[in-house]
Amino acid sequence: MSMTTSTSRATFREQRLPAWQRVVVKIGSSLLTGPGGVSTRHALRIGHALAGLIDSGREVLIVSSGAVAAGRALLQARMPEAGALPARQALAAVGQTGVVALWQRFFDRPVAQVLLTHDDLRNRRRYLNARSTLRALLALGAVPIINENDTVSVDELKLGDNDTLAAHVAMVIGADLVVLLTDIDGLYDADPRRNPKARPLHRVARVTPAVRAMAGAAGSAVGTGGMATKLDAAARAADAGIPTAILNGTSARSIDAFARDRLVGTLVAGSRSRPGARKTWLKNAPLAAGRVCVDAGAARALAERGASLLPRGVVDVSGEFVRGDVVEIGVTGRGGVRAVARGVAQYGASEIRKLIGARSEEIGTRLGFTYGPEIVHRDDLALA
Ligand SMILES: Nc1ncnc2c1ncn2[C@@H]1O[C@H](COP(=O)(O)OP(=O)(O)O)[C@@H](O)[C@H]1O
Ligand SMILES: N[C@@H](CCC(=O)OP(=O)(O)O)C(=O)O
């Protein structure tokens, strides 16, 4: 058989873990579920380690997978085929209660269920709400148990995997570290389940295309995305200056090291600069709700002078978005539309259509009201 056992694999040596006060820990489905639904087999050790860290004054947010796998086991259902979204959503609804109840067993303080959708991270108002709620939960001493709101997220708007969700949560809450607990010791230079000669990578300075090429698909029937989504998530977090540790949640050695502020696994370094949280969020907001096309002069003003976008420079609007949504700002050239920036729209699409080419002073007369002279304020802009 081509699969290798974990005992024949090269092992990771223990290394330093960056200092942290606030961490987002993501736990994959395979660590939390078994044939009977949720399972304490691996979760027990992880839960105790996290409880110890919280008791010592650290702040821990948990991104927990396992709803679909637990629901499937409880209903003795087959895994729905790709595309069978309502069935997966139903399984998630059945399994999620057990996942949260499982976590409650490890903490003597309340846990809080937080289900987030793509929209909650894309829309600035909802993003700010999510941030305030998470902050309040930490201040109250509750342990946030976060998952994607699978029962209502539709395919094209799904974050899709909880590695990505963990990176977003870390950016939203300004965490110092992301920890991805999985069923393998860390990142290897090839998928060790397929290549017995794969070598451990202790440290990744930057997620380059060459590093991405090392990552293969999921290792279990319940996992989503494999190492590829973990590296994508780590790259996002790194962009915001947040390092990511990838380690084995089934291994006592790895979990015990983490509880002692050491790492047995892979560290993806954070980039040195830590751009403003708002710009980071904008750059990573999963999808834009629409597009505002601008003329070449406006594009230059945004890119070269860091100016706000005024109605004067707008030439076209597509999509149906409302005030507060993230929009793409593009400029039309020979090869089609080129993205220039992303920003939070101060006006909705139907309003901006009435303002195309207007001077800022005309906004009041064209609309009958005004939210200010800018279509997108410079503070709410991130260049592409
Ligand atoms: N280069 C690699 N190094 C380590 N693991 C890899 C690599 N490429 C693919 N994998 C696979 O990724 C799996 C972990 O991802 P996944 O199954 O999605 O887990 P989770 O449920 O924890 O998100 C491992 O079990 C492994 O088989
Ligand atoms: N939101 C889904 C998990 C999606 C996911 O990323 O799963 P995994 O790769 O096991 O972390 C669930 O709770 O079943």
| ipTM confidence score | 0.96
Same domain, yes or no: 258 and 333: no
Least confident of 93-107, 144-158, 298-312: 144-158
Mean model confidence pLDDT for the chain: 89
Task: Report the largest interatomic distance among the alpha carbons of the chain, rounded to a whole angstrom.
Answer: 75
Same domain, yes or no: 112 and 234: yes
Nearest to 254 by CA among 30, 44, 46: 46
Quote the pLDDT of residue 380: 80
Quote the pLDDT of residue 2: 37
Q: Is residue 84 part of a domain?
A: yes
Quote the pLDDT of residue 273: 67
Instruction: Name the one residue in this structure whose structure tokens are 């993205």.
Output: 339
For residue 106, the domain's CATH number is 3.40.1160.10
Domain span at residue 302? 288-383
- Distance, CA 150 to ligand 2 centroid (Å)? 9
Residue whose CA lies nearest to ligand 1 atom number 4: 187
Instruction: Name the one residue in this structure whose structure tokens are 């997220």.
Output: 153
- Asked whether 224 lines ligand 1 (CB < 6 A), one says yes
Same domain, yes or no: 70 and 186: yes
**Residue range 314-322: average pLDDT?**
93
**What stretches of the chain show up as alpha helix (H) in DSSP?**
29-32, 40-55, 67-75, 85-104, 118-122, 124-140, 162-173, 209-212, 226-239, 252-259, 277-284, 296-305, 349-355, 363-367
Share of the chain above pLDDT 90, in %: 66
Which numbered ligand comes closest to the C-alpha of 89?
A: 2
Q: Is residue 282 part of a domain?
A: no
Q: Is residue 124 part of a domain?
A: yes
Residue whose CA lies nearest to ligand 1 atom number 15: 226
284 has a pLDDT exceeding 90: no
How many structural domains is the chain composed of?
2
Least confident of 79-83, 100-104, 239-243: 79-83
Same domain, yes or no: 320 and 174: no
292 has a pLDDT exceeding 60: yes
Q: Which atom of ligand 2 is nearest to the CA of 64?
A: 13
Sign of the four-CA dihedral 260, 266, 272, 276:
negative
Same domain, yes or no: 338 and 226: no
Quote the pLDDT of residue 6: 46
